[in-house]
Structure 1
Amino acid sequence: MSSILVGSAPDSWGVWFPDNPQQTPYTRFLDEVAASGYQWIELGPYGYLPTDPARLTEELDSRGLKLSAGTVFEHLHQDDSWDAVWSQIEDVAKLTAAVGGSHVVVIPEMWRDPATGATLEPRDLTDEQWLRKTRGMNELGKAMFETYGVRAQYHPHADSHVDTEENVYRFLDGTDGEYVNLCLDTGHIAYCGGDNLAIIERAPERIGYLHLKQVDPEVRAKVEAEDLPFGEAVKLGAMTEPPLGIPEMPPLLEAIDRLNIDVFAIVEQDMYPCSPDAPLPIAKRTRNYLGGCGVGAVRF
C-alpha cells in the first residue's frame, strides 16, 4: 500500500523571501495552514520560520504541525561554487533534521531575474557545466545524507537550467538515485511544456517527493508567446488552484499510487505577492479537492 502524505508550504501563502513586508507573517501562516487541515509543512525560505530548533519545534507542536522538508537553491554548474552552496545546505539540512524533517528540496538558481527579467547568465549550460552540476549534486546529496540524514530531492524550475522534460531526463541520467532523486513539481513541469505522467512512467524509481500545483493554460500560452520571466507570470496568475488548471490531479495521484511508495506531496501554489486574506480559502478548497479525487492513498 502506498501513502501520499499531503501538506502545504509557505509558498502557498505568498512567501518567497525570509523577510518581506508584502508577505504573510510566519505566525499567521502556521495558524492558517493548521486551520486548513494540513499537518505537514516545509520550511520555506531559510529564516522565514524560526531557525532555533527548540523554538521552531515549539511553534509546530503547539499547532499539531510536522516538517517534511527544507528548501535551498544551488548553482553548482558555476566555478568554485561548492563551498557557497554547501554553506546554505548545512544551515537548512541541520535545522530540518533537528525538527524531524527527512528531506531537503534543492532548486536550481534561475538564469534570469524573476522580478526584472534581466538575463543573469546564458539559458543553456555547456556540457562541462552540466557535468559540474550533476557531479556536484551527487556529492551534495551524499554529504547531506551522511552528515544530517536528510535526502536530496531535486526540483526542476522554470527559468532555470533544469526546466524542460528533456533537461529533467538529462539531470536524472547524470545523477545517482542513491543520493539524489526528483521533487516532481507538477506545475513547473507543465509550465515548461513537460508531461508529468511521462516522467513518472520513465523514471518511477526516481520519484522521491512531490510538489502539487496547477498552471493556467491561458497564462502559460501568453508567457510562451512573449517570453515572460517567471515572476511576472506568477503575478498574472500562472499558478492556479485545482481543478482550474493543468495537469489534471486525479490521473497524476493515481499514477503515484501505483508506484506503491510512501511520498510527501506538498501543495505549493506560487502566489507572491498576494492579499493576506487570499491564501486561507484557497488552501481549504485545495485540501477538500485533493481529498475528493478518489485516490485512497492520499493522507492529510
Structure 2
Amino acid sequence: MPHVLDHIRVGSAPDSWGVWFPDDPRQVPWDRFLDEVAEAGYEWIELGPYGYLPTDPARLAEEVARRGLKVSAGTVFTGLHRGPAVWADTWSHVGRVAALTRAMGARHLVVIPSFWRDDKTAEILEPPELTAEQWGHLARGMERLGREVKETYGLDIVVHPHADTHIDTEAHVARFLDATDPALVGLCLDTGHYAYCGGDSVRLIETYGERLGYLHLKQVDPAVLADVVARSLPFGPAVQRGVMCEPPHGVPELGPVLEAAQKLGVDLFAIVEQDMYPCEPDRPLPIAERTRRFLRSCGA
C-alpha cells in the first residue's frame, strides 16, 4: 500500500476536458465541465482560459459551490521578456484574472510565458533563444509581477515552464529560477511539459524544491514525442497526435514525482491537466475518472 500523500491536494482543470480557449464551438460547455469534473471525483479546479467559466464572481461562486468544488488558481499569459513597454497591457489582463481568482478564495496565479511559435500554424514568431537583455527583462518583469500581484490581490505567482516558450528546458528553467527572487516568484512544475522538453521532474523537485509552489500532473507518450521532435512539430499539432497521454501510460512516472513533492513537507496542489484539444465531448469523463483512481492508488 502506498503511504498517504497528505500534503498533496488533487484537482483537475478545463484543459483535461479539451478546453484551450474562452469560447470555441469544439469545446464542451462550461456547465458540463463543472458537472463532470465533480462526478469524476475531483474537489479542486482551475479557472482555465479567462471567460470560459462565468466571470461574474457571485455566479461562479454559486455554480462551483453547488457542485462541491473549490478553485485552486487562475491562469495568465505574459510576454514580459519584451520589456517595460508591455507592462500596461500585461497588468490589465492579469488584473481581471487575479480579481476573479481572489474572489473564488484561491491563492495562486499560474503564469505562462508567451509562445515563440504559433500554436496552430507553426509560424516562428520570435527566436526560441532570448538575448541576455531579454533574460533580464523576463526576470525583472516576473519579479515585478510577483510583487504587485501579492500586494494588490494577495496571490502568489507560480511560473509554468511550457513547450514552445522561452522557459522550457532544464537549462532555461534553471537560468530563470537562478535569476529571480524566491520570495516573489514560485514555480508551477508541469510534469508533462517538462518531460516534453527533456527535463527530469524528480530532479527538479530535489534541486529547486524550495521554489515549487504548484504542480500540474500530465504524462507524455515517448513514441509520439520522438516523432514530434524528429519533425520539429509545434505544440498544438503534437497534442492532436496524442503526445500527452492518459496516466499511467506515459512519462514521467507520477508516483515518484508525488513522493518527491510530499517530502518537501509543504501543502501543494497537484492539478491534472491532460491536453486534448480538440477532443470528442464524451472522451474526457472516463479518462478523468480513471486518472483519479490511479492517483488514489499512488496515495494522493
State the TM-score, normalizing by the size of structure 2: 0.97
Q: Of 78, 82, 85, which aligns to 2:87?
A: 82
Match of 1:287 among 277, 283, 292: 292
Confirm or deny that 1:185 pairs with 2:193.
no
CA RMSD in angstroms comes to 0.8
Letter in 1 for 2:208: A
Instruction: Indicate whether 1:29 and 2:33 are aligned.
Output: yes
How far has the Cα of 1:2 moved from its partner?
4.8
Q: Please state how far the C-alpha of 1:36 moved relative to its aligned partner.
A: 0.3
Q: Tell me the residue number matched to 2:67.
A: 63
Which residue matches 2:158?
153
Matched, 1:256 2:268: no
1:42 aligns with 2:39: no
How far the C-alpha of 1:81 sits from its partner, in A, is 0.9
In 1, the alpha carbon distance for the partners of 2:197 and 2:135 equals 19
* SS of alignment partner, residue 213 of structure 2: strand
Deviations 1:79-104 (A, max 9, x none): 41111111111001100001111100
Q: SS at the partner of 1:73?
A: strand
Write the letter of the residue equivalent to 2:267.
D
Check whether the contact 1:46–1:71 (CA below 8 A) recurs between aligned residues: yes
For 2:248, which of 224, 233, 243 is the aligned residue?
A: 243
Aligned AA (1:64): G
* One-letter code aligned to 2:64: L
Paired AA for residue 263 in structure 2: R
- Corresponding position of 2:24: 20
Where does residue 100 of structure 1 map in the other structure? 105
Gaps of 5+ in 2: none
Runs of 4+ in 1 over 6 A off after TM superposition: none
User: What is the TM-score when the length of structure 1 is the normalising length?
Assistant: 0.97
Q: Secondary structure, in 3 states, of the residue corresponding to 1:209?
A: strand
Cα pair 1:2 1:261 within 8 Å, conserved: no
AA aligned to 2:187 is: L
* Aligned counterparts, 1:175-214, within 5 A: 175-214=180-219
Would you say 1:3 and 2:7 are equivalent positions?
Answer: yes
> Partner of 2:275 in structure 1?
270
Which residue identity does 2:209 align to in structure 1?
A: P
Structure-2 separation of matches of 1:252 and 1:157: 18
**Identical positions, percent:** 62
Determine whether 1:137 maps to 2:142.
yes
The Cα offsets for residues 193-239 of structure 1, whole Å up to 9 and x where unpaired, read as 01111111111100100000000000110111110010000000000
Answer whether contact 1:2 1:259 (CA < 8 A) is retained: no
**Could you tell me how far 1:264 is from its partner in structure 2?**
0.3
> Unaligned stretches of 5+ in structure 1?
none
Distance 2:174 2:89 in 1: 26
